[in-house]
A and B are shown apart, each in its own frame.
Chain A
Amino acid sequence: MKESRGSPPRLLAQAFRRLFPGPLGAEACEDLERAYLKVGSTRGRWVAGLWYAGHLLLPSTWRLAFELRRQTRDSWWDSLGLDLRFAIRTLRRSPGFSTVAILTLGLGIGGATALFSVIEGVLLRPLPYSEPDRLVQLWQLDEQANRSVFSNPNFVDVRERSRSFESMMAYGSLVSPVSLRGQVSRVEVTAVSDGFFEVLGAQPALGRGFLPDEFATQAPVIVVDQAFWRTELSGNPDLSEEPLRIGDRVYSIIGVMPPGVEFPVGSRAWVPRDPQPTGTRTGHNWRVIGRLRPGVSVDAARVEIGGIAAELKQQFGDDTWMVDALPVPLQEQLVGWVRPALMILLSAAGFLLVVACANVVNLLLARAASRRAEIAIRQAVGAGRGRLARQFLTEALVLSFVGKRS
């Protein structure tokens, strides 16, 4: 420990100054140093040094450190309030500067926030289904690797032979005239195969789902979505009262899906259909999604259903165009195409924000130069660098906050 003659060890003195913040802390440090000198003058420097260092082990030292810190924290909050009021007064005194800075920041922050909200909703928020990472859309691939939807028999064969999927279902949507209580409206109705509820991992919130024989017989039953139930059926829990007509068929409403379950996007109602294993393999009628078994990767499923597609091609020759099959994660399938455009827009908005910030920084710098006299006075009456920095930071934060609100 280095020490100059007549003063306590420098490192220890610094430690005490760090321990005891504020003016009262400084006074306590000075008292300790004076006491050190007194001990040193009667009992020697080494004893005084040990006496001085021993204070670090005293509980009262740490109690004082705690109390002073608590006081400093309280006064920090008090002076933050002062800074805030001062910042608001200062900004109101120069409305031209404030308006330009607030509008510039508002534009930058608003653009970035709006775009990020879109990206958060579209790309980042997971699909509203149970374990959506396990959902994939399946495509038939022909020799030119063109994607197409499935034919009835190809879907049935792939589903039967595949082991990578916990469940798989086919669906097809059509906007149909739906008549209810004499009112006709155009509603997107989706015909779904069995496995619909299992793949989505969702069951009707009210009523029931489709029974196995209702698929085979294509029974006139229908499940509607939450919004349809609330608006068209007035949220009536007694579903049996409301028969619904699509074309010339009358359907019984048997269930209402939970809020947020809308598959495919835009679909308001679902009816059961059974994809027959017979029929042409070159007709493409069904979109297909599947739920992977836990632990099975998309790549592993790709290998397996690719092999099944090759087997079917070998088996049926020119009767099928499918030579391969492709699983695509559902999230990517739904929003993947829009990702590059959104990322470019986000970059542009980020750049706009940076430009806005740079402009406001320039404005603040120009203004700080014109406030030299004020800064000098504040320094003269005791404001340290940290205190001044905090005041300017508070002003910048007030500007940003108002800019964000605007």
Chain B
Amino acid sequence: METVYETQRDEQGHPIQVATGKRMQFTLTYPVHTSALTDALKAALPGKVIGVNAGGVNRPVEVLLALTATDDDEPAITATVMAHDPVFIVPAKDQVLANGVDMVIVGINAPKPGAAPVTLQMAWKPGVQPAWNVAQDWAIPLTDGAGFDHMTANDRGTVAMRVKNGTNRSNEVLKIACL
């Protein structure tokens, strides 16, 4: 864990180094789901995580921390990053005709070697919030971390989908409009 400094000016205008936070870097061979990893880190270390900075496999993953983070937090941070098992949901389109024929191909990318199986939850969204309590499971078979399936619709409305048990994997909710 290293401290991050920013140069500021004192009252006399002289440059001074001010600590603005801390940082840990990890080199991973797969891209991270930045927001899911951030949520997992914030849950593990409440009040100590500023965010995550990432640039694909070509850049280290940076965990930005508050000054209150200490070396004692490193094991929890490392464990959370190492447990991160990202899942990216990639629908081919965000609309489908509600005629039972038109289809949307939904792709899944789980790039971590040995990624856990992926099951999506699909919820019909008649109101403001998707009805996750009656959501339908949709297992997507993976081959080398990639898989896809398709969906059709018979009724108009919105289908929302997310990764089941998505903590530290994916926190996104994708919506398909059925027209």
Does B bind A? no
Q: What residues of chain A have their CB less than 8 Å away from a CB belonging to chain B?
A: none
